Amino acid sequence: MISTVLVANRGEIACRIFRTCRELGVRTVAVHSDADENALHTRVADAAVRLPGAASAETYLRGETIVKAAVAAGADAVHPGYGFLSENADFARAVVDAGLTWIGPPPEAIEAMASKTRAKELMGVAPLKQVTEADLPVLVKAAAGGGGRGMRVVRRLADLDAELAAARAEAASAFGDGEVFTEPYVERGRHVEVQILADTHGTVWALGTRDCSLQRRHQKVIEEAPAPGLTEALTQDLYEQAVRAARAVNYVGAGTVEFLVAGGTAHFLEMNTRLQVEHPVTEAVFGVDLVALQLRIAEGHALETDPPRARGHAVEARIYAEDPANGWAPQTGRLHRLAVPDGVRLDTGYTDGDDIGVHYDPMIAKAVAHAPTRAEAVRRLAGALERAAIHGPVTNRDLLVRSLRHEEFTAGRMDTGFYDRHLPGLTEPAPDPLAPLAAALADACRPARSRFGGWRNLPSQPQVKRYAMAGEEHEVRYHHTRTGLTADGVRVVHADAGLVVLEADGVRRRYEVARYGDRVHVGATALTALPRFPDPTAQHAPGSLLAPMPGTVVRVAEGLTEGTAVQAGQPLLWLEAMKMEHKITAPVTGKLAALQVAPGRQVEMGTLLAVVESN
């Protein structure tokens, strides 16, 4: 029997595994980087071991250090979670060699499926050896990759060599392996996967399908189970291929076999030899705890001959600290509040007051809704997200709500190109026009000492406040009267520092208001309180390139020096932030007047990176 589990991971998945361990009476050990010293997963574990450093390469990717931590903490088992070392065969061997129980598949199975090229060969699928014009478009992928790293879509043969080089560089940086390959890119395909579970007694379950077609940068955003609209014959084919993949490598534990479905045919993509981020939708539909089953399998218990029956439908949305309208740029800062309505499962590695840093993935939480039908589950999740309180950095919450309500998604006609087609419409600002007034009235009810100066004009004069909302400035006016606060054209039913009730055109609406410094959250709308007088010094020279987010400069374009001629749109340097690379390009055609950074430099948001003078 396993008594103490060390989770070789962080954040949401570590917290989720700890939850099951507590329910089973198993003690828990966390590992943490210096950046995660006060993270939620560190706080909720029974014991925690420091991994010196902040970057993943010197902390969560140091297998030998983690094994030593497990031994030192008295753990008798290691669960890898997902990401980091979860699909590293050498780490699995090191755990076993240390006399610990590895809660995962055998190292040989991990090794067999670790390279996407070798996995495809095992399943009888050959990657493209020589790309021709007739093969376009193609997808360049990292053989050892995942999460969209080292992946490029190539539509012109002239771009292939440059994209191959870029993919190799990114793959080598992310995975320590620069091998890449090409395969046909299907424009309107669906990403469908099968959850498998196998014990040491020869039983393999195909535990339903999942659809993960809504992706940004080849990373999943919304997932659901079962995958809608599949024929019985196609579903059976998916199950058979998934079980065949598992048996081919003598698989043990939880894993996922991924496919691209197009034209009624399933094309094998890869096998992920670990638990998936989206596993909760399968748990909801089948009424199981996959982590508990992982532990039971690791202890040698047998699965039932047949898996449980599926019930209903489940949908999961990943809440990211990112700005979808600004190139999906990751965001950082204090998460002041995170709360979703009852009836929706929330898996998270954060709680109120935690900081979202620059070192790791920007996912804040996963929200999961389960209902008897797909339509009900989708409606429940969209409504819960719309009413959720997510106060802090910019998130993708509005995008998630609109995606769930988009006619293509509700009809089950989505594919992996969904955001390529619909992103502009899904990110079009649609703030509540009464939100600035609600913010101003709530501010007027705060204690005078907490407001700017606590000043008042004469009662006959309106109070004026300015807010930035959805990229525009809004000025609002209201009056203090003997009967309370008033505003032209709107009836103020109630106003205090946390709640404002307004009636306009006969319709009454409630606005919950929370303020953190100059950031104001009015329901689902975020505003910034503007100063009475703008700062005239907050300016930069024309052509200045500022860091769009905190991160690390990983590469500078080859041969780029001050005075170099550049073309508009030409890549100049690359920033890495939260597991993604972001390309910084020349804003105009001209020459590079200044280059302020070099590879390895860590920068804050707004740092001057370079200056390009136009011709």
Domains, the chain, in order of start with CATH, read: 4-103 (3.40.50.20), 115-184 (3.30.1490.20), 190-426 (3.30.470.20), 435-529 (3.30.700), 544-614 (2.40.50.100)
For 64, other C-beta atoms within 10 Å of its C-beta total: 11
- The whole-model pTM stands at 0.86
Q: Which residues of 427-464 are buried (b: 16+ CB within 10 A; e: fewer)?
A: beeebeebbbbbbbbbbbbeeeeeeeeeeeeeeeeebe
Catalytically annotated residues: 274
> pLDDT at position 374, please?
98
> pLDDT at position 121, please?
87
Rounded CA-CA distance 485/443 in Å is 12
The two structure tokens encoding residue 609 = 């990176």
> pLDDT at position 455, please?
46
pLDDT along the chain (615 residues), means of 10: 98 98 98 97 98 94 98 98 96 98 97 88 84 91 77 92 90 81 87 98 98 94 98 98 96 97 93 97 98 98 97 98 93 96 97 94 97 98 98 97 98 96 95 96 81 50 91 92 92 97 96 96 95 59 82 88 90 80 87 90 86 89
Contact at 8 Å (CB) between 509 and 525? Answer: no
> pLDDT at position 92, please?
98
> pLDDT at position 125, please?
85
Closest CA to 271 of 259, 281, 280, 260: 259
Q: Is 233 exposed, middle or buried (0-12, 13-18, 19+ CB in 10 A)?
A: exposed
- Per the omega criterion (within 30 degrees of 0), is the bond before 362 cis? no
> pLDDT at position 453, please?
42
> pLDDT at position 454, please?
44
| DSSP, residue by residue, 495-562 | E-SSEEEEEETTEEEEEEEEEETTEEEETTEEEEEPPSS--TT----TTEEE-SSSEEEEEE-TT--T
